[in-house]
Each structure stands twice: as C-alpha cells, then as structure tokens.
Amino acid sequence: MLHDNLDTVDWADDLAVIPRGYPLSQQILRTDVSGMPLEWVDYREAARLYHTEQVAYTCGSLLYRLYGGTCARTGLRTVVDVNSIIATHGHTGNPGNLRGAAYTPPLNNQTLFRRDAYLCLYCGARFAYSLLSRDHVTPFSRGGQDTWSNVVSACRRCNNAKASRTPEQAGMELLAVPFTPTYAEYIFLKGRRVLADQMEYLIAHFPRSSPLHERMQRWPM
C-alpha cells in the first residue's frame, strides 16, 4: 500500500487523484485501531494519514488512487490507494473513544432531521431540510430543554399548530420517541452519502436496542 519513498516527497503538493467511480467529495470513515468509528475525513486528510503512516489497516471498497509528488531519488510518483474505511493508530482526542455511556453528541438540525428521517414526526410527511424545524416536545415555557430526548423534527405547520403546548395538550401524537444517539449513531447521522459498506460497518457498532434499526426499516432514505 505505501511506497518506500513516501517520506522523501511533499505529499500535499502536487496531489493527483484517480477516482474509482466515486466523486471526490465521497467521505472516508476513520476508525481507531480497535475499529471504533471516529469521524469522517476527506481524501486530503486520508492522504495525510497514509503519508504519516497512521493507517493501521483498511476495510471497505477502494475509493481513490492518489498520486503524490515525484521522488527526486527514484523519479517515481508515490501512489496510495484510499479505501472507504481506514483504521488509524493514535488518538485524536475524539469523544467517541468514551465508548458510549458518558457521551452526548452535540445537538444540531442537520443530525436531528436525519435522525428523524426528514419526517415531521407529527403529520408523518417528508420534507426538504429547509422546510423542517426543531420542535421542543415539552416546550421551554413548560420546563422542556433543548436536548436530544426533547426535540423532534416538525414541519412549520405542525410546529405552529402545536404552539407552546405539549403533544397531549395539543391533541397531537408523536410517530416515534426521540432519543440521544450514541457516538457511532451520531457519526452515521453526520455522514453525507454514506456508502453501503460504511453503513454496514456503522450499523454493526450501534447498540442492539438502537431505535435506528427499526427507523431505517420503516423509513428508508
């Protein structure tokens, strides 16, 4: 995988990429050496990880072949094949290493709407990102908090209709129970265009009781 002359060239300069049927924007799933998912990286970061010999092993499919600078000594270009999943040595200080229990991922609409499959959890219709809103199941005015377990995606109409009431008070029923994702679930929700092998890998790291198992069956995206 690594050529022996990698350390003699400036890898970041003069980087040429031969995609293997994948767009350059395709993200790569980085894990730690034990296989715990850590983060998504782009091809440049992946190249850096290969170049600094932090890649322990790879899984998944071949995404790109990267050609680096020419080695002055041999006149050959350096070549690295980048896979869709790369396991790396060392530690990034990533909270994913806490392995669950204590970790609460940051709440943002991108991952929240993805958790709820871009559905309004009141009327059940699917909406574009820009047409969804964050509904607080128990409103702030009634002591509700801005936490994963108290928020759902909702269309503007349902959100307005519910106003500052609980679902019971508004006579509205939730289609699914909101939940706090684990780190692996959060990485999955953060992914843009997750490949089948990456998805399979991440799902294997979800808890057995993960609501996403059922949600993905019920609401394929």
Question: At closest approach, how far in Å is the CB of 119 from Zn ion?
Answer: 8
Contact 119, 219 (CB under 8 A): yes
Nearer to Zn ion, 60 or 167 (CB): 167
**In the complex, minimum distance from the CB of residue 157 to Zn ion, in angstroms, rounded to a whole number:** 6
Pairing relationship of beta strands 37-41 and 55-70 according to DSSP bridges: unpaired
Local structure of 8: helix, strand or coil: helix
Binding site for Zn ion (CB under 5 A): 120, 122-123, 155, 158
Q: Which residue lies nearer to Zn ion by CB, 107 or 123?
A: 123
- CA–CA separation, 58 and 48 (whole Å): 15
Q: Fill in the DSSP letter of residue 76.
A: P
Closest separation between CB of residue 155 and Zn ion, Å?
A: 3
Q: Any idea which residue has 């350096």 for tokens? A: 78
Least separation in angstroms between residue 161's CB and Zn ion is 8
Specify which residues 164 forms β-bridges with: none
CA 117 to CA 216: how far, in whole Å?
8
User: Judged by CB, which is closer to Zn ion: 80, or 158?
Assistant: 158
CB of 133 to Zn ion, least distance (A): 10
Q: Report the C-alpha gap between 134 and 156 in whole angstroms.
A: 9
Instruction: Give the torsion through C-alpha atoms of 184, 109, 129, 84, to 10 deg.
Output: -30
CB of 132 to Zn ion, least distance (A): 9
Burial class (CB in 10 A: 0-12, 13-18, 19+), 61: middle
214 Rama sector, left if φ>0, alpha if ψ -120 to 50, beta otherwise: alpha
The smaller minimum CB distance to Zn ion, of residues 64 and 122, is found at: 122
Query: Which one, 193 or 218, has the nearer CB to Zn ion?
Result: 218
User: Which C-beta is closer to Zn ion: that of 29 or that of 121?
Assistant: 121
